[in-house]
Amino acid sequence: MKAKRKSAFLKPFIATVVLSAGALFYNGVHAQTVKEQPSAERKTALMVDFKGMKKEYLVFDVNLNQPNERKTVLRITDQDNYQLYYESFFKYNSQKRILIPAEDIEKLTFSLYSSKGEVKKAFTVDYELKEIVQVNELTD
């Protein structure tokens, strides 16, 4: 009689465990059938173009393309990770001309933080002074 009671008690318990495991398996399969967007559409793009020098400043054109209008933060740091520039953007496409003081800059890192992750672009800054010598003939 005791054996019958145990088996009567265990049958609903085993059925519950099997159904729960089946539900977990089904949910896992269902989650895999969700169509993902192509990665090119989801990523935030950062384009940085060096335009040259303007007096004592390095001039950069920065273009930001993001998949949504959520907050995106642009941060520019030097070789010592000292913050030179910081700005928040909320538009899909943003364009900005940025002037960075050229004094003692060896490396610049442009970091773009968004809900989709982080994008970085790094630049080295090399200074070269050229001496131009011109010789002209004197005529009497």
Contact predicate 57/100, CB 8 Å: yes
Contact predicate 77/119, CB 8 Å: no
Give the pLDDT band (50/70/90) at residue 38: very low
pLDDT tens across 77-122, in order? 999 999 999 998 888 788 999 999 988 889 999 998 887 788 899 9
Range of 7-11, 18-22, 109-113, 136-140 with top mean pLDDT? 109-113
Q: What is the mean pLDDT of the chain?
A: 74
The alpha-helical segments, DSSP class H, found in 1-133 are 2-32, 39-42
pLDDT tens across 3-16, in order? 555 455 545 444 44
The residues spanned by each domain of the chain are: 39-124
Task: Please check whether the domain covering 39-124 is classified as CATH 3.40.640.10.
Answer: no
- Pairing outcome for strands 117-124 and 93-101: unpaired
Contact predicate 84/78, CB 8 Å: yes
pTM of the model: 0.60
